[in-house]
Amino acid sequence: MPFVIGYIAVMKVDPLGILFMFGLSEVVVGLYYKTPIPVQPMKAIGGAAIASGGAVSAGMICGAGLFTGLFWFLAGTTRTVNLATKLAAKPIVRGIVLGLGLLFVTEGIKMMLVTPWLGGLGLVVTFLLLAHPKFPAMFALLILGAVAAYVLDPAQARHVLSMRPDFRVPQFTFARMSWGDFVAGSLVLAIPQLPLTIGNAVIAIRAENNELFPDRPVSDRMIAISQGVMNLVSAPFGGIPLCHGAGGMAGHVRFGARTGGSLVMLGAIMMALALFFSSSVGLLFQIFPRAVLGVILFFAGLELAITTKDIGSKKEDVYVMLVVAGFAMWNMGVAFLAGAVLYQALERGWLKV
């Protein structure tokens, strides 16, 4: 949810393509796997794009999606995914996640300072509801944002409330992407995402699915191919880079999902919202207070960063993770290269820390 909100509200990406392709992917995945294997925005790509301050364009996002789709489709069909899963060192993956988390936290603080009283109120509300089992903090933040939007700009808020269904279909946006967008999106966004996807959206989701649903097993190859197809279909129609994530499956199961039916229902709702109310959604997020968006990004960053707690106590691994995290707050591509070189140097005994 924070990434979708960020794409729409911060980057001003048309919600029609995002919501429709997201929903379509969920419907197909639910019908194919028949387990609650999630469909999620790719965190490294989304984090870098949202926190870029406008440096990342819609064309670059499309390029990143196409590169990602092509990579995973080929990795699955040629079975090289089995080799790729062995190359994603845990400290490098955790470092990218930690860097992204810290980047979200700092960007969230900047946005909260736009309206400090509202940002502070959002922080207090979220902390009070973090562990509440029946009233999610995200739902409370959306309500707070809607109320604040009405108070701060009542004329625009009334305009949103007066809008009626407006049927639109996704447009083929591939032609708007230049070769430069494809190259930049691949190098700056897609390639740094690969180790994170290997660790969280291939290895971890396969292990979690097969443990929870041993009667409906999946393989690394199946997951890679489905991620490839999702992105190759989604990107040309305004969708964002998507993957399967173990954390998302845990959330589905925690709230009672046991089959792919939950994905089909959620996907159908998102597709209907996209087809009939995407204009309203876009305008709603345009007037959504930046301070509340900042709170959402702040806690999304904390949730990302806290997942690195399983790094262990080995000094070399922690060292690599911190180096990668530091570089990731500046450039994820450089972070990945620096982490890979440092990790190999430490593993081979060329360096000591």
Q: What is the pLDDT of residues 242-287, one digit of tens each?
A: 998 755 666 566 556 778 888 898 899 889 988 988 877 777 777 7
Point out the residues of the chain with pLDDT beneath 70.
Answer: 1-2, 53, 85-87, 133, 160-161, 175, 246-256, 332-333
Element (H, E) at 40: strand 40-41
**131 neighbors 230 (Cβ within 8 angstroms):** no
Say what percent of the chain tops pLDDT 70.
91
Radius of gyration (Cα) for the chain, nearest Å? 20
Q: Which residue has the tokens 């949103």?
A: 160
Q: What is the pLDDT of residue 62?
A: 92
**330 neighbors 53 (Cβ within 8 angstroms):** no
Residues 6+ away with beta carbon under 8 Å from 326: 99, 335
Q: What is the pLDDT of residue 332?
A: 67
**170 neighbors 20 (Cβ within 8 angstroms):** yes
Q: CA-CA distance, 284 to 273, in Å (whole number)?
A: 13
Q: What is the pLDDT of residue 26?
A: 93
Listed by start position, the domains of the chain span 2-308
